[in-house]
Structure 1
Amino acid sequence: MKSKFTSWLMLVAFMGMTVLPAQAAMVSTGQVVGAQQSSLERETVTTMLERADVQAQLMAMGVSAQDVQLRVAAMTDAEVMQLNEKMADLPAGGGIVGLVALVFVIFVITDVIGATDIFPFIRPVN
C-alpha cells in the first residue's frame, strides 16, 4: 500500500513539473506607439465629452451621459481618430455645438446600421 501511495505521489509530482510551452511574439515599435496613440485619442474624446457644457447639450438632445460613455467605448480606433480630427478642425470655443452635432450624427449612423439602439425612433436597416 505504501508503494502505491509513493507511486501516486511521484506521478503527481511529475505532472506538476511538466513545462507548458510558452508563446511569445515580437511587438514592433509601431504597434506599441499605435496602441498608445489610440488610448490617448480615446482619452481626449472622453475628456471633451465630460465637460458640463457638452453634457448639457447632449442632454438637450436626449442622450444620457452613460449612453455617451458606452458609445465612445464601442467606437473603433478609426472612428475615435476621425472624431479627434473633426474636433481639431473646429474653431476654439465655438465648436461645442459642432462637436455635439458630430457625436449625434455618429450615434444616429450606428443606430441605423443596427450596432446600437439608443434612439427609439430610429429603425435599423437589418
Structure 2
Amino acid sequence: MRKTIALSMILTLLASFVLPVQAAMIGTGEMLHQQSMVNERVKLAAFLDRDEVKQQLVSMGVSPDQVKSRVASMTDQEVSEINHKMEAMPAGGDVLGIVVLIFIVFVITDVIGATDIFPFIKPVR
C-alpha cells in the first residue's frame, strides 16, 4: 500500500512539472525566402549534374562527390551569387567560367580551413 501511495505521489509530482514551450508565427516573407533558397540549390545542383560541367571539374581534380558535399555546405549567399552569375551569362554561354568560379570558391574554403578538398592547399590557421 505504501509503495502504491509513494508511486502515485511521485507520478503526480512529475506530471505537475510543465516545460515551457515557445511557438511563433512564420512570416510569409520568411517562407518565400526559404523556398527560394531551396529552388536556388536545386538549380545549382542541376547545373553541376551536366556532363560537360562534371568533365571540367574532373579535369581540375575535383570529384563529383566532393562537389555535391561542398555545394550542400555552401551558404545561401554563395549559392545565390553563383546562380546570379550563371543568369548573367549569355544563353549557351561559357560553362568554363562557372566551373572556374566554383573552383575558386572551393580553393577559398580550403584556404580558410572550412573544407579539405585539395591536398596541395594548406589552410591558414
Q: Same fold (TM over 0.5)?
A: yes
- 1:70: which partner in 2? 69
Q: CA deviation at 1:34?
A: 1.0
1:80 and 1:53 map into 2 onto residues whose CA distance is 20
For 1:73, the aligned partner's letter is A
- Please identify runs of 4+ aligned residues in structure 1 that moved more than 2 A: 13-21
Partner SS state of residue 35, structure 1? helix
- 1:48: which partner in 2? 47
TM-score, length-scaled by structure 2: 0.88
Partner SS state of residue 93, structure 2? coil
Q: CA deviation at 1:122?
A: 1.4
Alignment of 1:1-126 (within 5 A): 2-13=1-12, 15-16=14-15, 18-126=17-125
- Is the contact made by 1:48 and 1:54 (CA closer than 8 Å) also made in structure 2? yes
Q: CA deviation at 1:94?
A: 2.6
Unaligned runs of 5+ in 2: none
Q: CA deviation at 1:100?
A: 0.8
Equivalenced residue count is: 125
**RMSD, aligned CA:** 1.7
1:113 and 1:14 map into 2 onto residues whose CA distance is 52
TM-score, length-scaled by structure 1: 0.88
- Is the contact made by 1:90 and 1:98 (CA closer than 8 Å) also made in structure 2? no
2:62 and 2:84 map into 1 onto residues whose CA distance is 23
Unaligned runs of 5+ in 1: none
For 2:81, the aligned partner's letter is Q
Partner SS state of residue 91, structure 1? coil
